[in-house]
Structure 1
Amino acid sequence: MPPPFGATDATHHRPGFPKGGSSVAVTRALPEETAIAMVYDGTTHAVMMATPADVQDFAVGFSLTEGIVTGLDQIASCEVIPHPKGIEAQMWLAEDRGAQLAARRRSLAGPVGCGLCGIDSIEAAVRSLPTLAGIGPVLTVEEIASATESLRGWQPLHDRTRAVHAAGFLLPGQGVVLAREDVGRHNALDKLIGAMVRQGIDPAQGAIVLTSRISTEMVQKCVMAGCTILIAVSAPTLHALRLAEGAGLTLAAFARGEGFDLFCHPQRLRAEVFDVA
């Protein structure tokens, strides 16, 4: 049987084996993972394995970052429907967006580790990105270095399970103000972007913070959302860096409290810190 709709974890009792000791009884909370189908105008477009929480945020964010819509007003309705083997996010689009989607219909079925699995052409996987306009927000060294630590306070599911990713939104002078969690890093990012749009928060006013590496898809999603700064606890891939350079996205990686590496577009970091021979 699938988990109850909305369940994000469950406890399991198992033997544990501490180092150098004998078997002891332990109780672990494990994150739930459910098939979530993105259905547009009655046709399934994508099926993702994801944490069954914040599904409307997920549906809206996925729609925006995949270019299916360019604004919340182009989604006429969104209904979350649980099924015995998964969940459907049923969306009906404005007439013009529905016609455009029908013209470029694709099939995608990806595991939590890779949201690009199932794309049926090279062009779709390495799509062109818009160029981010303007400088946008400017952050201090301290704000970037402490961003992932600030995000830690927004990860209750991680605290229980130690098995999920998070994506958060940081505003200058305020720290992280919103976050979402999921078993998939790209799902967490889509959920965050959807939550921001639904709450009227402009992604261009702050930075997105990730608990994962910076992959190609994470850059694509941030740029499609209009966010100009991406901060992560781990490294970018080379292709992700190339995309960020071309799109005008500032990348800060290895942000773990004591510092970070700035990979491209330093104009969004206070200029007085650049005292390098």
Structure 2
Amino acid sequence: MEFIRQTEVIQWVDGECRKIKENSVDDEYTYLFIDYLPPRKFSTYPVDLKDFAVGYCLGEGLIKDYSDIESITLDGTNILVSTNLNHDPEEDLEQEGIVQERKGNCEHACVCRLLEYQGVNSDNAGGIRSELKTIEPNRSDLRVSATQIIRDIQHLTDEAKIWQKTAGVHVAQLKYEDNIIIREDVSRHVAVDKVIGAAAKAGYDFSKCYISYSGRMPADMLIKVIRVGIPIIISNASPASSGIDVARSGNITMVGFVRDNRFTVFTAPERIDFEK
């Protein structure tokens, strides 16, 4: 099912006006409930939501492996995830730098703080994103050729069906050997979560995978990639300096500005075969 809405609009071209029908993404709010943690709110293109839930949990370090998930249930656009780790709200309080003491006004203040940020959007509707306290360099020996990078971005564009109809979504593509997974979403984070989740469900070796996607590459995107162990990220857009710093620390190969027949490698160039 495609969540696309058609609206009658006025288009102006070279001084002439005309009425046309324009497609737009019919995005919806999605709430993600993980064990006993507060709900997390996202604006999504509401398909492949189970893939998103798995990818989000992996990218945020809430699980170490797909097998940590006991069940995923969809109730409309609400996603209920049960893990064998039984997370509780204190973990989120610790992430926010809040120490919960179970006495007097402090407990009341902490509960109020929890309620304040339940369902609050951040990172362009990417939900609550956690920091990475330590970075282990990625040791993957995966290599990709220069010509393959160009082909990957072209394939990403060719297969972006919702983007072609609306220009209102981001597209992510994960490649593992001869297997390719493509997902689209209004949030670049959620699009990447979806391909990571689908790959985890398929049992792919993340050290042999790489991601191509449409969107900037700031630190929070690189943190997700580092957590799951993917060594290469490719985009037709630019990196942020924070993303470059994290990629360098994590020995992640970051390729940006893939356009026409050119690209720029910002970190770990040894994984790129420039001769092909």
SS at 2:262 equivalent: coil
- Structure 2 gaps of 5+ residues are 94-116
Residue 246 of structure 2, aligned match among 234, 243, 246: 243
For the residue of structure 2 that corresponds to 1:145, the secondary structure is helix
**What is the identity percentage for the equivalent residue pairs of Structure 1 and Structure 2?**
21
* Deviation per residue, 1:167-202 (Å, 9 max, x gap): 101346x4x711100001111011111111112222
For 1:150 and 1:266, locate their aligned partners in 2 and report how far apart those are by CA, in whole Å. Answer: 22
2:83 to 93, 97, 111: 93
Q: How does 1:1-277 map to 2 (within 5 A)?
A: 7-21=2-16, 23-82=17-76, 87-94=77-84, 97-99=85-87, 101-105=88-92, 107=117, 109-110=120-121, 113=124, 115=126, 124=130, 126-171=131-176, 174=178, 177-270=180-273
Which consecutive residues of structure 1, in runs of 5 or more, have no partner in the other structure? Answer: 1-5
Matched residue pairs, number?
252
RMSD between aligned residues: 2.2
TM-aligned CA distance change 1:15 to 1:271, over 3 Å: closer
| The 10-residue stretch of structure 1 (235-244 or 137-146) with the greater mean CA deviation from structure 2 | 137-146
The residue matched to 1:180 in structure 2 has which SS? strand
C-alpha separation in 1, matches of 2:123 and 2:186: 6
Please say if residues 145 and 274 of structure 2, whose CA atoms lie closer than 8 Å, have aligned partners that are also in contact.
Answer: no
State the Cα distance separating 1:220 from its structure 2 match: 1.0
1-structure distance, mates of 2:45, 2:25: 7
Match of 2:54, SS state, is helix
Distance in 2 (alpha carbons) for counterparts of 1:163 and 1:209 = 18
Q: Following the alignment from structure 1 to structure 2, what is the Cα–Cα distance between the partners of residues 159 and 129?
A: 39
Structure 2-normalised TM-score? 0.84
Structure 1 residue 272, shift from structure 2 partner? 5.4
Return the offset for 1:112: 7.0
Moved over 3 A (4+): 42-45
Q: Distance in 2 between matches of 1:239 and 1:114?
A: 19
1:37-95 residue CA offsets vs partner (Å, 9 max, x unmatched): 1102254331111111111011111111011111111110000101xxxx21001110x
State the alpha-carbon separation in 2 of the partners of residues 136 and 36 from structure 1.
Answer: 37
AA partner of residue 19 (structure 1): D
How many Å separate the matches in 2 of 1:89 and 1:191? Answer: 13
Deviation at 1:9, TM superposition (A): 1.2
SS of equivalent residue, structure 1 residue 109: coil
Supply the AA of the counterpart residue of 2:209. G
Q: Which amino acid aligns with 1:105?
A: D
Quick check: 1:12–1:29 contact (8 Å CA) kept in 2? Answer: yes
